[in-house]
Amino acid sequence: MITVDEKLIVTKQINEVLCRYAKRNLIKEFLFTFSFPNCSKENSKLKAKHINPLLETIYYYQGDIYPDTLVEVENYINTFLNELDENDLTALQFLTLNENYLIHIDDFENEDGSKYTKEEFEEKLGRYFAHKLYEPEKNGLNEELQEMLQNQISRLANEIDLSVLNKESISEILDAIELITE
């Protein structure tokens, strides 16, 4: 981060780098380990029997996460998040804010309701986002992050066909992960 006169400055480039890193590395790792729990990333050793039965269930539910699978999904997400270092968690929080940007702008405008000049608006909105990042538990950012990760699992389940589990299923999952994390 860049600070100028005690103001935190997040440039467009910094935001893009953090979001790209989170998507291409962290989301990719998240989806891989969810799809193939307890497996190494060496694709040649993956077998159809290694595919997470929970992913199969969500696939059969057409990507929906129902109460019978929600607890397992939440446990997986919480375990994944707890194993991240602070920097990786921050990168995922930036990605979450980026994914929900328009929702946050609407919330900010509805919360505040004041009329600002463009510069004032950008400064106040920046503070709104910074507040979310500094207190993610209090401001619901952690919950948004968990929801975003649930949506990634749902998207993966919608991108693949697990009606027959075979070698092609593995390739299809890996290709879908690549597509999602581009």
Tell me, what's the pLDDT at 29? 96
Report the percent of the chain where pLDDT is more than 90. 66
* Mean pLDDT calculated for residue range 32-46: 84
Helix (H) or strand (E) segment spanning residue 7: strand 7-9
DSSP state of 113: -
CA 181 from centroid of its chain's CA atoms: 10
Q: Report pLDDT digits (tens) over 108-159.
A: 777 766 777 878 877 888 888 888 888 999 989 999 999 999 999 999 999 9
Residue with tokens 């405008």: 109
**Mean pLDDT within 72-96:** 96
Contact between residue 35 and residue 173 where contact means Cβ atoms under 8 Å apart: yes
Q: Is the pTM of this model over 0.85?
A: yes
Range(s) of the domain holding residue 79: 2-180
Number of domains in the chain: 1
Q: Is the pLDDT of residue 4 over 50?
A: no
